[in-house]
Amino acid sequence: MSQPDDLNKTIQDLIDRQTEGAYWDFKLQHHANNADLIHDVLCLANAEHQGDRFLVFGVDDATYALQSIANTPNRKSQSDVVSVFRDNSSKFFESRIPNIYLREIEINGDTLDVLVIEDRPFKPYHLVDDYSRQSRKLRAHHIYTRVNDTNTPMPDSAPPHEVIRMWREKFGLDSSAIERALRFLQEPDSWEYVSEDFFGEGYYHHKIFPEFTLKVADTDSTVVACNEEWTRGEIRRDNNSVRFYLLYYHQTLLHRTRVVTFDDGKKSMVAPNWRPRGAGRFYFYLADSVEYALQRFHSASRHKDDSTDLCIRGQGQDSEEARSLWPEGLRIPSLENYELKAFLGEEEECEPSTDDVEQYQLFLRNQLDFEEWRDNQATT
């Protein structure tokens, strides 16, 4: 995801090139026909590029002159654009649509809209049913992409070597083992549970690439942390335990991740990351981390996500505010690296609290402060 402060500079740099490219496309106005919108997004989403792709509204693609998008016909909001894809998700292969978001920026006094298409390893994005609007028709099973500054025409499909490239990326064939594992974990249905191995232990393996396995290992809960602040809101807090997910490629251990069972065995989740903030701790998952991928995998296998409904205890101001914000239970956030750095700012050394009650209230305060900070970022 592009950091807001960097987006203006990125788009300005692209405009200054006085050309279009494989991962950016200029439009004077928003699309009048949603078939054209979907086509442009599919072409950019499937293009060969490592990083976000940009559909920029308010730039003449012939002269590269800016023209404010404010008060122009057919201008769409974030909700409008997302709805076009979400409402037609059943027409997409595996119902998977590109990750997109719309941002308004200002360059030299002109308002531009930037539709950001995030780079994800789920290419090729394509339709399994035709999509028609007026005289424009996107064809089922046709794969569209963008090469240099040219989109695949609607009646056509990408050349075979481009399609092969996309499938290789989807299966991570040109990636490292840990990169492939991270991608595979994002699709829990692609894994199969085997009840026992030769040592009597169950494990998961990837259905297509069984050399990737995920095992669970017990450990001594008296020497590994399993009573952190996020576990302390539950009624039972005296019977926590910890295990480890062990992620393997063949016989090579790629990653070890701690899983905590708490609330007398009723709840279980991958332990989130934390950073000191003041005298307390702020807990989170990094969106592109193995830990977060495993937490989502863990939740899918259990058909519930305990990181989103943590009980809140106490009667102080922070407890009451937390219950008001999270009536269904406290949620551990997932965030990007840039969000973490911006929220924490310049970290000052501070003596950490050693009192359990104070630690818990500081934890609530830090989680609340982050949610307020994130809301403010969304409105600026």
- Decide if 213 contacts 248 (C-beta within 8 A): yes
Q: What is the DSSP string of 60-98?
A: -TTT--B---TT-TT---HHHHHHHHHTTGGGBGGG---
Cα–chain center distance at 223: 33
Give the long-range contacts of residues 162-171, CB within 8 A, separation 24 or more: 162/46, 162/48, 163/124, 165/48, 166/46, 166/123, 166/124, 167/123, 167/124, 169/121, 169/123, 170/121, 170/122, 170/123, 170/124, 171/208, 171/209
Amino acid occupying residue 31 = H
Q: pLDDT tens digits for 26-70?
A: 999 999 999 999 999 999 999 999 999 999 999 999 999 999 999
Nearest Cα neighbor of 53 from 5, 6, 10 is: 10
Share of the chain above pLDDT 70, in %: 96
Residue 311 has pLDDT above 80, yes or no: yes
Q: What is the pLDDT of residue 380?
A: 57
| 158-177: average pLDDT | 93
Give the residues across from 149 on adjacent strands.
Answer: none
Q: Which residue has the higher pLDDT, 56 or 349?
A: 56
Q: What is the pLDDT of residue 226?
A: 84
Which residue do the tokens 């500054």 mark?
A: 149
Q: What is the pLDDT of residue 251?
A: 96
CA–CA gap between residue 87 and residue 74 (Å, rounded): 18
In this structure, are strands 280-286 and 334-335 parallel, antiparallel, or unpaired?
parallel
Q: pLDDT tens digits for 255-264?
A: 999 999 999 9
Q: pLDDT tens digits for 211-229?
A: 999 999 988 766 677 899 9
Q: What is the pLDDT of residue 12?
A: 95
Q: Is 215 helix (H, G, I), strand (E, B) or coil?
A: strand
Q: What is 4-170's CATH number?
A: 3.30.950
Any residues with CB less than 8 A from the CB of 6 and at least 6 apart, and which? none
| 325-350: average pLDDT | 89
Q: What is the pLDDT of residue 18?
A: 96
Q: pLDDT tens digits for 170-191?
A: 888 888 999 999 989 989 999 9
- Decide if 119 contacts 49 (C-beta within 8 A): yes
Q: Write out the residue limits of the CATH 3.30.950 domain(s) in the chain.
A: 4-170
Residue 233 has pLDDT above 60, yes or no: yes
Residue 331 has pLDDT above 70, yes or no: yes
CA–CA gap between residue 325 and residue 76 (Å, rounded): 30
